Amino acid sequence: MGFSSQSVKIPIDRVGALVGKEGMVKSEIEKRCSVSLEIDGESGDVRVTYDTDSLKEGDPFKAQEVVTAIARGFSPQRAFALFEENKVLLTIDLRQYSGKSENSLARIKSRLIGSDGKARKLIEQLSGTAISIYGHTVSIIGDSGKSKVAEDALVKIASGGTHKAAYQMLQKYRSKQKLDRLQLWESQKPPEEREY
């Protein structure tokens, strides 16, 4: 039997969320991905160990992605959406837009969050994704198409664009999605029931 492992570094203040009450979050990840997690509460080092002979059953990469999502500020419940087949995690480093200025980073984060979290919530609703703003990053969980459009909207705001322009872009995407679904639904009807 061959064992291999990968390491993920997480912020110390996210260790508790990763372990969960009575170790339930850690156990759930281990069970779903057939891996073993060793979490060092002092350093924030997490070792994901898996049996290389039974990679068909296990998914160490998915485990690593869920650990990373929790490290980036998602609640375990929201991070567990990554267990779904088509869900991905995207992370944007906001320092590419703020430079080395802490004030600039704080300003960008507050623009992305909005007053009472309204901007973040609206982007989540319009794109159908989950978003976490933590440290110097903003992370997105969703299917790849939705995550990409949410990323485009967040980058637009982070690089100085207006909220309005970002929301309009998301509305356009949403309308197109609805139209595509409607056309697909129409195309699956028997020819005599189709509306032309």
Q: Domain of 79?
A: 3-83
Final residue in a domain of this structure, among 56, 83, 110: 83
> Is residue 110 situated within a structural domain?
yes
Tell me: do 62 and 109 sit in the same domain: no
Tell me: do 79 and 107 sit in the same domain: no
Tell me: do 108 and 50 sit in the same domain: no
Give buried/exposed letters for 150-175 (b at 16+ CB in 10 A, else e).
bbebbbbbbeeeebeebbebbeebbe
Number of domains in the chain: 2
Tell me: do 51 and 132 sit in the same domain: no
Task: Output the domain CATH number for residue 58.
Answer: 3.30.1370.10
Tokens representing 194 are 């189709």
Beta partners for residue 132, in sequence order: 139
pLDDT above 70 as % of the chain: 92
Tell me: do 67 and 94 sit in the same domain: no
Query: How far is Cα 128 from Cα 122, in angstroms, rounded to an integer?
Result: 10
Tell me: do 105 and 73 sit in the same domain: no
Final residue in a domain of this structure, among 83, 114, 149: 83
Helix axes 144-158, 118-127, angle to 10 degrees: 150
Strands 87-93 and 130-134: unpaired
Tell me: do 64 and 95 sit in the same domain: no
pLDDT for the residue 57: 67
Tell me: do 136 and 68 sit in the same domain: no
Mean pLDDT to the nearest integer, 124-150: 95
Tell me: do 111 and 78 sit in the same domain: no
Tell me: do 140 and 92 sit in the same domain: yes
pLDDT for the residue 82: 96
**pLDDT tens-digit series, residues 56-84:** 667 889 999 999 999 999 999 999 999 99
> Is residue 178 situated within a structural domain?
yes
